[in-house]
Each structure stands twice: as structure tokens, then as C-alpha cells.
Amino acid sequence: MITKDQWRKFIDNPIVEWTIFVVGLLLLFVVAPLVGAVPGPGGVIVAGIGLAMVLKTSMWAKRRYARFKKWEPTVLGKQVKPGNWTDFALRRRSARRRKEVEKARQASLPEEGQPN
């Protein structure tokens, strides 16, 4: 059986990293559009797998993804944060935890106009 350390060493091999990166790009830009032409959610699933493979191996992609998550465009006069959509879609526990911490922090702050 392979241990975690052996697996990490295998994944950190440059040839394996580049292979995962190239397969992820192929899934994202070649296979996903082909599968997406067929009715059903297959294209989205394949694109998600490809994106995960690219994000796993590319620091450039990770930085771009982090920038996307922080981006706050204004749509119809309201601030929209696409990063919240990705956290919701991925059902990320860390996002839920951050939201709960933010709610608790807001609840502990005194309201404006109220004497301390």
C-alpha cells in the first residue's frame, strides 16, 4: 500500500506534475466542450475535474483563481462577488466557517448610533 509521503513524492515529480497539468487542460478545453454539446451536466463535471487538475499543479492558475475569488464587479448598482458563488458550488467548509466568523464578529460590534 502507498503511504501519503510516497504519494506526495510521486505527485511532486515534475513529469507527473506536467502530465496532470496537460491532461487537465485537455479536459478543460477539448473534452468538456464536446461533452457539453450533449444534453446533461457532463460538460460542467468534466470542466470541474480539469480545472481541479490544473489548479493542483499550476501556481499561476492558483493566483488567477484567488484573484477571481476576490473580484467584486458592480452589476446593476450592486456589488457582486463571484467567489461566493464558487464557494457555494464547491460546498467549501472553510467558506462556511469564514461566513460564521464574520457573522459573529458583526454581532459583537456595537451598532452605529448606539452609546458604548
pLDDT tens string 66-108:
888 888 888 888 888 877 777 776 677 777 888 888 889 888 8
Q: What is the pLDDT of residue 111?
A: 66
Q: Which pLDDT score is estimated for 73?
A: 81
Under the banding of pLDDT at 50, 70 and 90, the label for residue 114 is low
115 has pLDDT over 60: no
Q: Cα–Cα distances in Å, from 9 out to 3, 4, 12, 13, 88?
A: 10, 9, 5, 7, 32
What is the average pLDDT across 54-66? 89
- Please provide the distance, in angstroms rounded to a whole number, between the alpha carbons at the two ends of the chain: 61
Tens digit of each residue's pLDDT (9 = 90 or more) over 2-46: 899 998 899 889 999 999 999 999 999 999 999 999 888 888 899
